[in-house]
Structure formats: C-alpha cells, structure tokens
Structure 1
Amino acid sequence: MSPSASHISSQLRQLIYYHLDNNLIRNALFLAGRLHAFEPRSPEASYLLALCHLHSGQVKAAWEYSRSSRGTHIGCAYVFAQACLELGKYIEGITALEKIRSLWISRNTWNKHSETRRQHLPDAAAIFCLQGKLWHAHKDLHKAVDAYVEALKLNPFLWDAFLGLCETGANIRVPNIYKLSPEMLAMISAAPSSEYSPTFEKPPTSAPLQVQPNANHNVDPFVSLHSRVDNSSGYGSSALWEKLNGSSVSVSSINAQSTEGMETPVAQSEADEFRMGGGSGADPSWDPPLAPARKTRTIQPRGLDYGADPPPKMRAAAMKSRTRTRADAEDSTAAQAVREASAPAIGIGERKRTVSGQVAHTSGLQPPEPGAPQRRSVRLFNQIRPTTSKFSTAAGALGSKEGREIKKVKAPGVKSRTVSGSTMGRVVSGNRKPAGEGTEGEGKEGRVTSGSTVNGATSGPTQKATLTDKTKDIESLSWILDLFSKLAGGYSALSSYKCQEAIQMFNSLPQSQRETPWVLSQMGRAYYEQAMYSDSEKYFVKVKAIAPSRLDDMEVYSTVLWHLKNEVELAYLAHELMEVDRLSPQAWCAIGNSFSLQNDHDQAIKCFKRATQLDPKFAYAFTLQGHEYVSNEEFDKALDAYRHGISADSRHYNAWYGLARVYEKMGKYKFAEQHYRTASTINPMNAVLACCLGLILERVGNQRAALQQYGRACSLAPESVVARFRKARTLMKLHELQLAHTELKILKDMAPDEANVHYLLGKLYKLLHDKANAIKHFTTALNLDPKAAQYIKDAMESLESPDDDDEDMT
C-alpha cells in the first residue's frame, strides 16, 4: 500500500525544520529541493526552498524561488522582500509585502514562542520592521519611521527596529516604547496555564490518581486531560499538548467525554466510591446521578457486581489466572473486611441502577485512555474478576489490588501509598468531587492535588500557583523592559550625540550588563565623540580583552589610536583584525589608519578603497578616504569620496564636515558655511563644528554670529582652549575688552604655556594702555615661541602707537 502524498510532504517539512533548527543548512536545502520536486505548485514548498537558499547566503536563488508565490503566501513574500533588500530592489520588496497586507496585518505571535513551540511564519511586527528597512534603504525616512514605530508598538523587543529608528534621526521617547502595555498583559494572561505551571510533570507517588489501566503512559491521564481542556480555549496547538502528554486524543473527543453524564470527569476510584457510599458516614439521602442517554463501553465499577446481572463472559484467550502476590497475602485481613461489608455495599449499589437494571455509569467517570483498543472494557473486566484474577501488570505495578479489596481498604485513614495497601482515599457518600481533586478522607488523601479542574478551570493550589507564576512572569517582563529602556535610552542619546547623558544611562545598568562588549563599545564611542581619546581607549581595551574577535566599532578604536599617535597599538590592532576576518571593512580601516599615521597617504587610500569595495554602505571608510585625499591636496577626489559617504549614510556628519573643510580650503566660504551648518544640525553637541562654523562666519565678516558660535562651543566644551581663545579674540575685535580680559585670564590658567595666549594678552593690555603688563606678556610669549620673534617684536615696537592689529601669531 503506497503512502499518501500528504504524509510524505508532512515528513519532509518536519525534516526541513529539524535541520534548520539545528543549523544544518546544507541538509535543509537538499530536503527542501526534494519537497519542491514532490510538490512543485505548493507555496509552502517554495517558501521552504527559498528560506533555505536565503540562510545559505544564496540571495538571488531565494529571490527567484519566492517570487512565484509572493502574492499568496506570507512566508514567500517575506523571504522575497528580504532578498530584495539585499539585492537593492527596495520597491519590489515593499510592493510584495503590501500586496498581502490583509494576510499578516492581524498576526501577532509575541509570547507564543518557547522551547516546545515555534511560529515559522513572520507576524506583523517582523514585517513592519522589514518594511522600515526597505523604506530606509530607499531614502524615504518618513515612511521608514512609520514602519519602525508600528513594529515597536507590536513588539518592543525588536531591537533592529529601534536601531533603525535611531539611524533616521527621529525624536524618540524611549519610556513610551519600553513599558508594560495592556496588550502585553492581556497576552500573558491569555497564555496557556501549562506554560507557567508544571502540569506535565509526573504526579507524586501518593497521588490518588496513580492507578492507571495503561502502564505505557507515565503521565497521569487526568492531568493531561486538564491540560487539553485548558488548551481548547484557543491558545496554542492541540497537537503540542498531545505530544507533551504522550497521547493523540483530540480536544473535541475529550470534551465530549467530560461533558457526558457528569459535569466534570472523575477518577475511576472516586466513581466506585460514589456508587458504593464508602462505608461509615454515608448519607442515605444522597441522590445518585441520572443515567446517561446511551450505553457506554466503560467497565462496571470494581466491587459493584453483587446482585447485578452478570456481564457477558468475553474472556480474552491470552488472559490467564495469575497467582497471588505477596501483597495479596499481606492484605488477607482487609479482604475479609470487604466480604463482611458486602451487604451495605449492595444496598447502596442497588439504588444506582437504571430502569433496565444496569448500574448507572457516565462516560465522564472513566478516565480517558488515549491509544487504548476498542475492547478495553472487556479486557479490563477479564482482569478484575473478584475471585481469581488481578489487574493488568501495569496497574499492579502501580500498587492496585482486586476490586473487592480496594473497596474496604480505603476505609481507614492511610498515611502513605505502597504496593501492599490501598491506593485511593476514602470518599464520603454525598460529597462529590470534581476530577483531579483529592478526596476528603481521614488521612492525607483529603488534600487537593495539582492539576485539579472544575469545568476545565484550575482550582485550589493549582490556580494560586498559576496566578503566582504569571505574576512572576509579568515581573520578569518588567525587569527586561527596564533593561531595554536603559540600553535604548543610552543608544538613543548617543545617536543624538548627547554623550554625557548616554554615559550616565549606560553606567546605570547592572554590572553584568555594563561589562559586555556592546555596552563598553558604546561608552568608548561616547568618549570618542567628545574628543576624550584616552578615556575612549580604556573602554576599547576592555572590549578587546572580553571579545578579541569583535569587529563592530573597531574602526572607531583605530581612529582613537590615530589621534593618540600610538603607532604600535594601531599596527597590532590592524594585525589582529586581519586575523579575525581579512574581508571585513573594519580591518582595512585599521590598516589604512596605520599607514596614515606613518604619513603614507597613498597606501592609506588604497586600504580605505578596499574597505568600501567590501561594503559599499560603510560610510566611515569613505570619510577616511576623503581625509587622505585632503592630506594629498587632491580636493576633487576628496569631494567625491565625501559625497559617496553621504550617499551611504545621510546622517554621517563627518562626511559633511569633510566637504565643508574642502570648500574652506578652496576659499568657497558660502558652501563651507552651508555644509558646516548641516553637520552641526546632525551633531549639535560637537564643539569642533561650532568652532569651525564660527571661524567661517568670522572670515566673512559676521563677527556677532561668530561670537555666538564660539560661545556655544565654550558651553559644550568648557575645557576647550581653542574655543575660548577664539571667543576672546572676537570680543577684542568687537572692542568688548573687559569680557575679553575675563576670558583670557581663564585661558591663561588653562594653558599657561601657550604662546598665543600670552601674545593675545599683550595685545589686550596694549589696547588698555597697560604698557607694563603688555611688555610682560609679550616677553613671555617670546620665550615660549622664539620662532614667532618677528611678530612679537613688531607688537612691542608698536606699544607707543596702538592700532587695531590684533591678529595672533599663527
């Protein structure tokens, strides 16, 4: 008999996901080819084949195989859009996702992944994130921001979407992103209780439900029943519960059994005692339940066959009488007590009969046994004959005895359950218990067991445990959101070049999170942006010690070493990065900086070109290449390199600064001012950019605007000698001598050995007609910089006739 096509394709898909999950991409790709050949028109087969090609790095093949079904299958459209992002076909990818918007817009699989569950198709949050990347690459920043925002609304843990949002330069309110939303709380509350409580664990040995007709199931069938009934509310997959519980019974069949006859399913031992009355304490006024509308195939209760019509003698040929075990001999006294108590048991049993004279049963009284044969009741009947036979081997292994013996042994309070005695607690007649709930006997059997249910809902300690676990889950989620909020706050501040704020945010992290390569790299970048290169180097040294093979941000580290003129460390860093990955742009940037520090600009240009060939979107390599062209005074090539850097990243302020610097050298001050302003708009916290802009404004004659820029630079970097010097010089040009004198006194304390400061002080005292102090500072400047003797002597000779010449020696 040939297998069905659906089973073959199902097996192949299972194998493909197995290999994908275990990162066996070549195997998955081979199997995906078999599935696609078997079902060439199946969108699922096309999706899996395209996905395997994408994971193996074959982007063009993934684009081709996903193209045919991109308009009907979410997975195909998603893989197609990812391939389009890599191939530069941005509009095609966006169009494919928008075409099937109705299929994915309502999908949200957040909090639905675990070690035992997976969602192989993307949800709306993932697709919005991909849309944002496509729009961002297409240079439509407004639509990119909208897509990133929608992705973060659905899933705030999409770090890619947050990074993209920062790269667009959007104004982000981080606390509004990383907070517990009502939707998240609702999804946590709606999650299956089994995700938070150990309902799949094997019950303790003392549980009253340990008597099981089938020894092949190690999990209590009533616990599994509870799990399946809970799952019927629509959370998760029923197939998952069946696999975890070791059964294959569908939810619908269980619900049909549990609602037939009695309200809740009851264990077999409890059903027997409900029918018997259970001895002393029985309430004779207890009204038995109505008989079911149809006959069931459930076995008659053990010990209730007295006075009833004999069942049909359908004994299996394989079943033979077994000899008594040692436990039977030990319980002979208990068996005698059962025979003495048979009369009252018959009395109660007679009251529980249907009109036809049969003992009343309900399908809910018999525990469901997934996978049992159809003649289960007959098989069990042959095993529990009151005179000779015993239960099956499986039941006997769990400590069960003959039906008559069980009936009386349950009467006294038992402290523990062993193979020699009773296994069920005593139930007082008239006190019905729902399934999975312990009986209220005289001993410890009266406790409620974990997994108890009432109409499919948890009760007692299980409900409290479930609520406690969900509360803990919410607390842990709040902790993660707080962690993400600090990380995102730091990165957002750094993206806006608020470096001190970013450092404070990163320092507020727990030490275990702070001492990680990513966080240390961000702190190194923050100090680098403030031109605090020594502090930046300390953090990058830690990064290299923790993660020697890290490549991200190493181009910044190489520039830090370039500014520190540390040739040895820079050469060593370049060598290390080449060993890690010689095809990484970061390694070639480090080599280029090493050549640049040795004034070998041609070799440095070749290295930076190689970096841009490896990654055309690596804007920093274009900028470094432009700097080398400026050093060679090849201004046209420098302009071209900077423009390529801006094309790769429009917010790369270093490239805008490079363009302005080239135009300044070329004497095109208008263009230089324009590009300096653009760079300063992107990075308003950079004091160097403010100084450069002020210098251009000063050269075009706009002294007041230049003074404003110098004042901003001093506020951004109070320790900047250059900014304060230029501010003092501009104040002197505007004849605000007292303000200039105040600035120069501060400057003299900051840089007492700077010749230009003393020279400017001499010029100031000359304007103030303080000849003695003027000569004093001119002499100090002459001693500090003998090369500028001509300028200083000319200034000293002109003391008798002060003029407006207030240029510095440079």
Structure 2
Amino acid sequence: MSKSGRVWVVISLIVALVLMSGALFAGDKEAEEAFERGLELTKLSELDQAIEAFTEALQQGGPEWKYFALAHYKRGLAYAFKGRNNRAITDFSKCIEKASDEGLMVAALYNRGTAFREQGQPDKAIADFSECIRISSDKTVTATAYYNRAVLYHHKGLYNEAISDYSESVSLNPNYTKGYVNRGVAYYEIAQYDLALVDHTKAIQLEPQLAVAYNNRGLAHWGKGNYDSAIADFTEAIQLNPKFTEAYNNRGLAYHYKGQYETAIADYSTSIKLNARYHLAWNNKGRALNSMGKHQEAIDCHNVAIGLNRDETYYMVCKAYALQKYGKTAEAESLYKEALKVKLDEGKFAGTDKAWIIYGKMCAYSQLGDKENCFKALKTSIELLPNLKDEAKTEELLQKYWNDADFKAIVE
C-alpha cells in the first residue's frame, strides 16, 4: 500500500552572482545604453522589452564587445523567467562560450542546468551542475548545485548518488534544511528508517514549523512499524498545515494498518476533499472499504483512482481484488491480466514510479498463480525501491506467500 513522501525540489535561477554598476561600462556607448536599459526593464519585470533591449545591445556591440557574454546571460535570465527555456539555453550557452569570469561562468552553467531540468533533460542538467560544482569557489552556490544535482539523481532512482550529494550540500551548509529533508526521504526509500528519522528530526530542529519534515518523519516511523509515533507526526504536520493532503492520506494509512478502518476512511476522505484528483487517497480508501466488506463502494473508489492514473498497475490489481472478494471472479482475472499488459515506457517511468508499476504486476502474477514471475517482479521492484520489501511483508495480495521460504529470502 503506497505512501507519499515529499522530495523538496528547489531548483531556482541564480540572478545575483554578477553585480552591475555604472562604473563598469566604458565601451561602445549605444550598446551600453541599450544594456543599461535592459537592466532597468528587468527590474521592472518588463521582460519582453528587456529582451529587446539586450538584443539591441548585442547587435550594437557585436561578438567582440566586452560585455557580450554578460548580455547573453542577462537575456537568458529574462527568457528563463518567461519560461522560454530553449531560448534561455541558447543564451546561457553563448555566455559560457565567451565568459572569462568565474562568477559569470558558474551562474550561466547553473541556470542552463535549471533550464535543462525544466525541459525534461535531466542528464544535461546533471552535467551542468557537475561543472558548476567543479569550478565554483562559492560555498553557498556549490552547496545548492550539489542539492539540485541530488534532486535529479533522486528522481532517476539513483538513491546512493542522491544521498552522497545531499550529504555534500549539508556539509557545506549545515543549516540547509532542504538537504536534510530530501536526504531523509532518500533514506526512507532505501529502507534506512533510523537514518531517515535522524535527518527529519534535524530538519525540525532547524525549522520547528516545517510540516513536511513531520510528515516525512511520520513515514519513517511507519516504515519501522511504529504506527502510533507515525500518527503523532502526521497529526503535527496537519496542525501546522491543515490543507496538507498527503499527511491526511498518510495518517489514514497508519490507522488502516492498526485495523481502524473507519478512522482511516475519514482521513482518506479529507485528503480527497482537499484534492479530488489525489488518486492515491482514492485507491487507499477503496482498500479500506474492501477490508470492511463494502466491495461495491471499494470498486467505485478504485475506478476513480484508475481514471486519474491509468498507468498505475497497483490500482488495477486493488480493484481486481475487490471484484474477487465480491465474487466477480472472471472480471477480476481479466483485470489482473490487463495489469500485466501495461508497458514500461523507459522515457516515461523511472525510479519510484517504475518500481510501483512492477510491484503492481507482481501482485497480479500472485493472484494468477504465477509464483515464478511474481517473485521475479518482486525482486526487480525491490531493487528499484528497497522499501517495497516492507510493503510486501504486509501486502494482502501476497498473503499466500508470507510463510514461503523463497518469499522470506527476498524480503528479509
């Protein structure tokens, strides 16, 4: 039964590494006037006009103009703020080609990495953040670059690489709350729950009002089977942020595993009320209803979850299980087989998402009596997301294997 931790993504533009002053300009007058006009328009958030001014400056100054690289950088920032990342990447690249100043080079690399990330090109973003780390002498910038590279590794499911970079970020900046939060999430995902608890507790010490840290510490308690401690942390997260959709869902799961289904359903329902498109809460509510014998209501919830996320095989097998419990065996078997047909598009799925799709298929194999493929899928899902071994130990769809020696060898 899936839970929702949060990776705190903070990849932002560096806009203040290169400071400008009137004394800096001593070259072509028309180019400099256009450049200064672009700076003033940027301050006023008149980005289209700023882009025109920087373009004029570049045309007037030409490739050998002293501030050619800087003008490309400033125009790149304006494009980036407008979300025109292709144009921004082109300008940052021009800046990188011409820049001789370390600060300007680092700023351009960092912001090009940000633009690549926004364009869905994580490998290119990682390369730029790596170069930024290599050449920067500014600890604050380097810490942020490590953090941002870690986030990209994290989303790719490269947890050890992510943890290493988060560790570098907090080593350079011991008060970097986001680094502790995200490293804690990564530790949780590789089932290192005690280390996750340490990181989230540190984040709470740094920012006592940080709801996400309480939520994520609750997940670490959940992973250890300490449901009451988990509920206490989820409740604190909700008190700090009454609209925290995921925290209601997660507290519902803790109550669910304590067998308090009605209380769990109340939390799932609140989560759904806050975000009607939160498919995870719909699916979890369906499972709780199924456990209470309310099979048709469960099926209705699973239908909503599947409608919101048609690639999620786990939702499909949960619905199939509800159909099975309702006595609709043929429909259930058909849906289990349908779950096995979902294709793993490598360009679409990675890390956690990929692991859960395989986990869902594993549950389908289990219900169809295919032990060999079930255990193969179980191994693969755990390799991608190690904390799924703890999910499997309590997975109702795998109950017939709980005492199986081969199953125990995989999950222990």
Taking structure 2 as the reference length, the TM-score comes to 0.59
Counterpart of 1:483 in 2: which secondary structure? coil
Q: Does 1:492 align with 2:251?
A: yes
Selected match of 2:374 from 584, 601, 604: 604
Selected match of 1:13 from 71, 77, 80: 77
CA 587–130 in structure 1, closer or farther in 2 if over 3 Å, else same: closer
Partner of 1:167: 219
Counterpart of 2:139 in 1: which secondary structure? coil
Matches within 5 A, 1:99-248: 99-101=171-173, 105=175, 126-134=178-186, 136=188, 137=190, 139=193, 140-149=195-204, 153-156=208-211, 158=212, 161-169=213-221, 170-171=229-230, 172-174=232-234, 176-178=236-238
CA 611–533 in structure 1, closer or farther in 2 if over 3 Å, else same: farther
Partner of 1:482: 242
Q: 1 CA distance for matches of 2:330 and 2:166?
A: 47
Structure 1 residues 667-725: Cα deviation after superposition (integer angstroms, max 9, x where no partner): xxxxxxxxxxxxxxxxxxxxxxxxxxxxxxxxxxxxxxxxxxxxxxxxxxxxxxxxxxx
1:639 CA drift (Å):
2.4
Selected match of 2:411 from 642, 645, 657: 642
1:539 CA drift (Å):
1.6
Q: Answer whether contact 2:109 2:132 (CA < 8 A) is retained.
A: yes
Selected match of 1:75 from 140, 144, 164: 144
Partner of 2:335: 572
1:540 CA drift (Å):
0.8
Matches within 5 A, 1:49-68: 49-54=112-117, 55-58=120-123, 61=127, 64-68=130-134
Instruction: Decide which structure has greater helix share.
Output: 2
* One-letter identity of the residue aligned with 2:139: G
Q: Answer whether contact 2:363 2:398 (CA < 8 A) is retained.
A: no
Structure 1 residues 21-40: Cα deviation after superposition (integer angstroms, max 9, x where no partner): 35x5x665555443333337
CA 572–72 in structure 1, closer or farther in 2 if over 3 Å, else same: same
Structure 1 residues 24-59: Cα deviation after superposition (integer angstroms, max 9, x where no partner): 5x6655554433333373332232244345551217
Partner of 1:36: 96
* One-letter identity of the residue aligned with 2:265: I
Counterpart of 1:599 in 2: which secondary structure? coil
1:130 CA drift (Å):
2.3
1:520 CA drift (Å):
1.6
1:612 CA drift (Å):
4.5
CA 567–603 in structure 1, closer or farther in 2 if over 3 Å, else same: farther
1:491 CA drift (Å):
2.5
1:13 CA drift (Å):
2.9
Matches within 5 A, 1:407-418: none
* One-letter identity of the residue aligned with 1:38: K
Q: Answer whether contact 2:265 2:285 (CA < 8 A) is retained.
A: yes
1:641 CA drift (Å):
0.9
CA 530–62 in structure 1, closer or farther in 2 if over 3 Å, else same: farther
Structure 1 residues 467-516: Cα deviation after superposition (integer angstroms, max 9, x where no partner): xxxxxxxxxxxxxx4333x7634522423534322212344578574575
- Gaps of at least 5 residues in structure 2 are 1-27, 29-60, 222-228
Q: 2 CA distance for matches of 1:503 and 1:634?
A: 32
CA 617–149 in structure 1, closer or farther in 2 if over 3 Å, else same: same
Q: Does 1:96 align with 2:159?
A: no
Q: 2 CA distance for matches of 1:600 and 1:144?
A: 40
CA 176–57 in structure 1, closer or farther in 2 if over 3 Å, else same: same
CA 179–51 in structure 1, closer or farther in 2 if over 3 Å, else same: same
Q: Answer whether contact 1:128 1:150 (CA < 8 A) is retained.
A: no
Partner of 1:505: 267
Q: Answer whether contact 2:390 2:411 (CA < 8 A) is retained.
A: no
1:152 CA drift (Å):
6.5
* One-letter identity of the residue aligned with 2:410: A
Structure 1 residues 508-566: Cα deviation after superposition (integer angstroms, max 9, x where no partner): 57857457534322312434566766653332123224554556755544555565673
Q: Does 1:523 align with 2:293?
A: no
1:168 CA drift (Å):
0.7
Q: 2 CA distance for matches of 1:575 and 1:564?
A: 19
Matches within 5 A, 1:325-724: 481-484=241-244, 488-496=247-255, 497=257, 498-507=260-269, 513=275, 516-527=278-289, 535-550=297-312, 553-554=315-316, 556-557=318-319, 559-560=321-322, 566-572=329-335, 574-575=337-338, 578-579=341-342, 581=344, 584-612=354-382, 615=385, 618-619=388-389, 630=401, 635=405, 637-643=406-412
Structure 1 residues 404-450: Cα deviation after superposition (integer angstroms, max 9, x where no partner): xxxxxxxxxxxxxxxxxxxxxxxxxxxxxxxxxxxxxxxxxxxxxxx
Q: 1 CA distance for matches of 2:77 and 2:266?
A: 50
CA 520–150 in structure 1, closer or farther in 2 if over 3 Å, else same: farther
Counterpart of 2:182 in 1: which secondary structure? helix
Counterpart of 2:122 in 1: which secondary structure? coil
CA 538–133 in structure 1, closer or farther in 2 if over 3 Å, else same: same
Q: Based on CA coordinates, which of the two structures has the bigger radius of gyration?
A: 1
1:591 CA drift (Å):
4.0
1:640 CA drift (Å):
1.9
* One-letter identity of the residue aligned with 2:217: L
Q: 1 CA distance for matches of 2:71 and 2:88?
A: 18
Taking structure 1 as the reference length, the TM-score comes to 0.33
1:88 CA drift (Å):
0.7
Counterpart of 1:78 in 2: which secondary structure? helix
Q: 1 CA distance for matches of 2:180 and 2:336?
A: 39
* One-letter identity of the residue aligned with 1:492: R
Q: Answer whether contact 2:249 2:267 (CA < 8 A) is retained.
A: yes
Q: 1 CA distance for matches of 2:283 and 2:149?
A: 34
Q: 2 CA distance for matches of 1:67 and 1:494?
A: 40
Q: Answer whether contact 1:78 1:127 (CA < 8 A) is retained.
A: yes
* One-letter identity of the residue aligned with 1:491: N
Counterpart of 1:88 in 2: which secondary structure? helix
* One-letter identity of the residue aligned with 1:88: N
CA 587–92 in structure 1, closer or farther in 2 if over 3 Å, else same: closer
CA 620–38 in structure 1, closer or farther in 2 if over 3 Å, else same: farther
Counterpart of 1:519 in 2: which secondary structure? helix
Partner of 2:35: none
Structure 1 residues 625-663: Cα deviation after superposition (integer angstroms, max 9, x where no partner): x959959x962x3222122xxxxxxxxxxxxxxxxxxxx
Q: Answer whether contact 1:66 1:77 (CA < 8 A) is retained.
A: no
1:84 CA drift (Å):
5.7
* One-letter identity of the residue aligned with 1:482: P
1:92 CA drift (Å):
3.1
